Amino acid sequence: MCEALGTTPVDDEAPVEFNDFPPEVQSAFEVYQVLQDVWEGMSGTYMGKNMSGINDLFTIYQVSQDEKRFVLELIALIDSERMKQLSEKRKQEEATKSSKSPP
């Protein structure tokens, strides 16, 4: 794309590839993707990931004993950010719906 535009690529502007992350971060994302989502039934609120089988997933994805705590902390951080994003999206959708409905 840079060639077509006649520019040179800038490393700081290049998108990050999955393989650019350290192995522990890659493991955290791999395990996170497999964990089951938990949604509140009545309101449809995202409650987080079901962590009940995480030790089995650590074994399957060959997360070492030394890395488990760090990977678990990363998974919690990822899930926390996802909860914030989904909550904000839900608030925006509700605000849009309420502004469109007649008084």
Determine the Cα–Cα distance for residues 45 and 91; give it in Å rounded to an integer. Answer: 11
pLDDT tens-digit series, residues 32-74: 999 999 999 888 889 999 999 999 999 999 999 999 999 999 9
**pLDDT at site 15:** 85
Q: Are 26 and 71 in contact (CB under 8 A)?
A: no
Q: Are 2 and 8 in contact (CB under 8 A)?
A: yes
pTM above 0.85, yes or no: no
Residue 8: band (very low, low, confident or very high) from pLDDT cuts 50, 70, 90: confident
